[in-house]
């Protein structure tokens, strides 16, 4: 299977569709892959990136600097076992906001 290609966040779709994102490493933990979508402002929060497991009253939002890159969700392939891709680990992998120590 070809390795999916990560793309710059400036090109991420802001139409509400769900995408895979690389969340930068921070004081809270290492880089990880999450499913997110762009949400317009509503009674539950301001416009921005939200984790797909957010729900009213418990919105998990990402600030733009927290997200490194994105890719489309892979299609369902019922014939093969697949895992989420690993987080992008390029040169830009320093911790966000310092070490917290």
- Per-residue pLDDT tens over the stretch 12-22: 999 999 999 99
Instruction: Enter the DSSP assignment of 10.
Output: G
Long-range pairs, 43-48, Cβ under 8 A, ≥24: none
Burial environment of residue 20 by CB neighbours within 10 A (0 to 12, 13 to 18, 19 or more): buried
Task: State yes or no: pLDDT of 45 exceeds 60.
Answer: yes
pLDDT of 41: 84
Q: Which of 14-23, 36-45, 58-67 has the highest mean pLDDT?
A: 14-23
Instruction: Enter the DSSP assignment of 78.
Output: T
pTM metric for this prediction: 0.69
State in Å, rounded, how far the first CA of the chain is from the last one: 41
Task: State yes or no: pLDDT of 4 exceeds 70.
Answer: no
Q: Edge to edge, what strands does the sheet with 19-23 contain?
A: 7-8, 67-72, 19-23, 32-39, 48-51, 61-62
């Amino acid at each position: 299977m070809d390795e999916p290609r990560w793309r710059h966040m400036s090109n991420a779709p802001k139409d509400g569709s769900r995408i895979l994102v690389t969340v930068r490493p921070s004081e809270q933990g290492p880089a990880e892959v999450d499913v997110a979508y762009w949400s317009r402002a509503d009674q539950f929060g301001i416009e921005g990136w939200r984790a797909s497991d957010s729900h009213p009253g418990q919105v998990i939002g990402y600030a733009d600097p927290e997200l490194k890159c994105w890719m489309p969700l892979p299609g369902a392939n019922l014939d093969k076992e697949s895992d989420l891709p690993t987080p992008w680990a390029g040169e830009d992998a320093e911790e966000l906001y310092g070490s917290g120590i």
